[in-house]
Amino acid sequence: MSDALRYEWMRIRTLRSTYWLTGLGILITAAIAFIIALVTRNDPMTAVIVSNVLLGGGEFATFIPIFMAIMGVLATGHEYRYGTIQPTLTAVPQRSRLLSAKIIVVSLVTLAVVAISLLINAVIGTIFWGELPDLGMDPLSEVIPGYFVMVLLWAILGVALAQLFRGVPTAIVVLLVTPLIVESLITGLATIPALDWLVPVVKFLPFMAGSRLIATGSFDTGPGGPDFELFDRGASGGVFAAVLPGNLAVGWDRFQTRDDQTHRRSVPSSRGSHTVQVESDRRSCRETSVYARPASVPSTLTFGLDPD
């Protein structure tokens, strides 16, 4: 397992996308925290304001979760996009250990990014507030741990989807389209009286439930809006986490079977098959050199020999 962890750690820290995604996530949330702290500097330091500053947008703090999910996608999707999955399987043939190492490394990087972002945003807020906020006030004592859990679940889901779809584009589309379009559409339609049968469905929407981990109040649908009766923070987190086992199980199964068969076909099982392949390559090279040789040049000169 240690070899797989070292391999994944070296791989993730040598990818430029890792630094772009983590850097942009921290920078954007810091910019949002600065704006919120600036415009609310004269307001009482409530839990909602502190949450908005620390998380870089409060309940709408989606930048770091999305960026960490994309990093999780690339942790596996890059292997298929650039055709490096077979060298990786050769270096770390234990597939369960390799997939576990990807999840562990992505999780550790994600937790570190969330901690750094919270620290930077807290410093920005302190500049305007003149004092450190009381992180033990209700509900900040639950919102901050919930933020760690929510971003972590996003990142692991990115790994799972990339392994499930064996690539980058489809996994990223699912990560973006599902919460931003599909769940938003269902939630909006549920507010229509003729479609009130959708109201009980809303609390089971995974990304909607996941956002409740960082909620500072009840979900308000406006005057006359339906009551979705959303689960509490812990149960909502459980709904979001429930999508992981199925995706990981199917992705792991495909990784264990299909990639295993492909790897076995790519590695010669005997000396004879290797010899046939080499002889075939040599024959191909000779044929290519004959057809590509100019007619006016003697064949002996092609190999650097003296015709005499």
Please write the tens of the pLDDT for every residue from 212-222: 899 887 777 66
CB atoms within 10 A of CB 145: 13
28-36 mean pLDDT: 93
Which residue matches tokens 């003296």? 306
73-86 mean pLDDT: 74
Say what the pLDDT of residue 101 is: 84
DSSP 292: H
79-100 mean pLDDT: 70
DSSP 294: -
Which residue matches tokens 């797989």? 4
125 has a pLDDT exceeding 80: yes
**Poorest-confidence range of 10-14, 41-45, 288-292?**
288-292
CB atoms within 10 A of CB 30: 17
**Cis peptide upstream of residue 193 (ω within 30 degrees of 0):** no
Give the C-alpha separation, 182 to 224, whole Å. Answer: 23
Say what the pLDDT of residue 35 is: 93
**Poorest-confidence range of 171-175, 219-223, 258-262?**
258-262
258-265 mean pLDDT: 52
CB atoms within 10 A of CB 66: 19
Predicted model pTM: 0.77
Say what the pLDDT of residue 205 is: 92
Give the C-alpha separation, 117 to 22, whole Å. Answer: 10
Say what the pLDDT of residue 58 is: 77
Averaged pLDDT score across all residues of the chain: 78
Q: What percent of the chain has pLDDT over 70?
A: 77
Q: Which residues of 104-140 are buried (b: 16+ CB within 10 A; e: fewer)?
A: bbbbebbbebbeebbebbbebbeebbeeebeeeeebb
Residues 6+ apart with CB under 8 A from 76: 99, 102, 159, 162, 163
Q: Which residue has the higher pLDDT, 76 or 72?
A: 72
Give the C-alpha separation, 202 to 205, whole Å. Answer: 5
The torsion angles phi and psi of 115, rounded to 5 degrees, stand at -65, -45
Q: Which residues of 181-219 are buried (b: 16+ CB within 10 A; e: fewer)?
A: eebeeebeebbeeeeeebbeebbebbbbbbbbbbbbeeb
